[in-house]
Chain A
Amino acid sequence: MPTTLTTGQRLPLSTLQLPTTFELSLSVSGQADDYDAACFVLGAGSRLLGDEWMVFYNQPRSPDGAVMVRRIGPSTVFVLNLEQLGPQVERLAFTVSPDSQTPSGGDMAGVGSGELRVGDAIWTFNGRDFGSEKAIIAAEIYRHQGTWRLMINGQGFANGLSGLVSHFGGSLAQPSSAAAPNPATTVPKPAIAVPAPAPAPLQPQPAPAPTISLTKVTLEKQGQTARINLNKSGNQPFHVNLNWDAHGKATKPSGFLGRLLAPASSSGADLDLGCMYELQDGDKGVIQAIGGRMGLRGQPPYIYLDQDDRSGASSNGENLYLERPDLIKRVLIFAFIYEGVGNFGDVGGRLSFTDPQGNDVRMQLSNPAALPFCAVALLETRGHELSITKEERYFADHEKCDHAYGFGFSWKAGRKD
């Protein structure tokens, strides 16, 4: 018999008779494309212990492993072992916020149905429970006189994530802000990175603050742009991932993603990721698997395709890395259908672009055009800012794309080895 929980309810966790390792899941659907759940691991005064103590899709594990998260279908599942938490941890707060940037789906009033489940206990909620909140604390698990208790909080903040973050003692740092935390300060104050709304200043900046990225931007429309401040990027490469469903509608189920660079099979989708680049020093080129133009790591152009780890389970689509985005004038990311299905929409083609802070820019290739070549996104560097613009323009081949963008390469047919 499930226990129904109501907003404001508090109970000892022991009454739910949970095993040492148990799950707390959140499933929310509504007007937003998706809803993100996170767990803030908090110390005294409900303050976030540090950047690494926020567990969410970009950081799926707390440092001690006591809190882990994974996505299972529509549910975000937190796997918890409270015994592994150090004595400094007073509280875990589980939050929900709409992922969408669209105004109509951007608040909790747009929730159609939501469910929090821990053991046999269920709290259900929907948009009528909320006003203009754009982020809520769904529930908290906290210590009280030596025992763990659960509270259904159900309250939130109209200013969304920034409200949550300041509630937990953090501050929402603008990347372009001139003020940076004093490095000598001993109390870590988490700063949360968001894409800079305006171009970053050109003068050198103080050492970047520790950042957690909460940003997951989906570029829906052609011409939409996301901007990333390069001052914060450090030395880690930017990562472009192209993924798709191997079993397109038009194909028989066959093959693994890991075989996609193998000689083309008669069925299964084979999408290739590549780019046309122009560096600020004038160097131009094309990087793609065809012809073995995999790019170079550690030397110009500092752009390369990952050809490792294709057989492992972790291999997921195709990956392109940009080590020195500051050297880029422009890079056109493209995808094309080498074999298999004839339509990007049929295989759910999708591109994600992740910067070293974990800012995640995504786009779907859903245009039903029957052309095999898609110019997906254009990256351009201006000063200390990299812009990513969704193109999603379809062409018959590389050459026609090149003409449209004016790189001026000479083209000949090729095949993969």
Chain B
Amino acid sequence: MPISLTKGGNVSLSKEAPGLKNINVGLGWDTRRTDGADFDLDAMVFLVNESGKVRNDQDFVFFNNKQSADGSVVHQGDNRTGAGEGDDEVVSINLDQVPADIQKVVVAVVIYEGQSRSQNFGMVEKAYIRVVNGEGGSEIARYDLTEDAGTVTAMIFGEVYRNGSEWKFKAIGQGFAEGFQALVRSYGVNA
């Protein structure tokens, strides 16, 4: 039975799915039904340490760097419109391979060229993030964040983090008013 989270809520992935080894973090949104440029949402993943920063730029996984240096986090590809069934973008995380000094994996989403296209998350329908068991594909947790969406072009959707020996997932739903570059820099990426 998947857990539906609200903003700020968290769930223990390890308890919900004992023996969990790898997960797929799926992002979805509805294709734009009104006229105008498509909503092109891009997943951006930050592997951060205790101090909340990336160790190096390789820990920032996105459409131009689809894999972390250790291979534990893999961006499965870019969907530019939100078209199609199921998740529009998927990030695979092999939990056992995540380096020990990585405290959490932050999943943010940026609307590509959102500012120049006058788009923001409030305009996007049915945006969500969900965590799916990499083995078997069952959904463990889900956060529908459309109603928490702000009039921003960059948002932290959720994070997968260590809590002692277990892995947890937290629904964040926090907008980043300063935009994509500020978001990236806030995690210590040299952008």
CB-based nearest B residue for A155: B34
CA–CA, A218 to B150, complex, Å? 41
Given A151-B122, A154-B123, A155-B123, decide whether A6 and B151 contact each other with a Cβ distance below 8 A: yes
A residues in contact with B33, CB < 8 Å? 167
Contact B120 A8 (CB under 8 A): yes
CA–CA, A131 to B36, complex, Å? 8
Query: Count the B residues whose beta carbon is within 8 Å of the partner chain — how many?
Result: 16
CB-based nearest A residue for B37: A131
Query: Count the A residues whose beta carbon is within 8 Å of the partner chain — how many?
Result: 23
Within A119-174, which residues are at the interface with B (CB < 8 Å)?
A: 129, 131-133, 137, 144, 149, 151-159, 163, 167
CB of B35 closer than 8 Å to a CB of A: yes
Given A7-B122, A7-B123, A8-B121, decide whether A156 and B35 contact each other with a Cβ distance below 8 A: yes
Within B65-99, which residues are at the interface with A (CB < 8 Å)?
A: none
B residues in contact with A156, CB < 8 Å? 34-35
CB of A10 closer than 8 Å to a CB of B: yes
B residues in contact with A158, CB < 8 Å? 35
Q: Chain B 96-133, CB within 8 Å of chain A: the 1/0 string?
A: 00000000000000000000001111110000000000
Contact A157 B151 (CB under 8 A): no
Contact B35 A157 (CB under 8 A): yes
B residues in contact with A129, CB < 8 Å? 118
Given A156-B35, A157-B35, A163-B35, decide whether A149 and B147 contact each other with a Cβ distance below 8 A: yes
Within B134-190, which residues are at the interface with A (CB < 8 Å)?
A: 146-147, 149-151
CB of A254 closer than 8 Å to a CB of B: no
Measured between C-beta atoms, what is the minimum distance from A333 to chain B in Å? 40
Contact B36 A155 (CB under 8 A): yes
CA–CA, A133 to B36, complex, Å? 8
Measured between C-beta atoms, what is the minimum distance from A94 to chain B in Å? 14
Given A153-B123, A154-B123, A155-B123, decide whether A10 and B34 contact each other with a Cβ distance below 8 A: no
Measured between C-beta atoms, what is the minimum distance from B82 to chain A in Å? 14
CA–CA, A181 to B32, complex, Å? 28
CB of A9 closer than 8 Å to a CB of B: yes
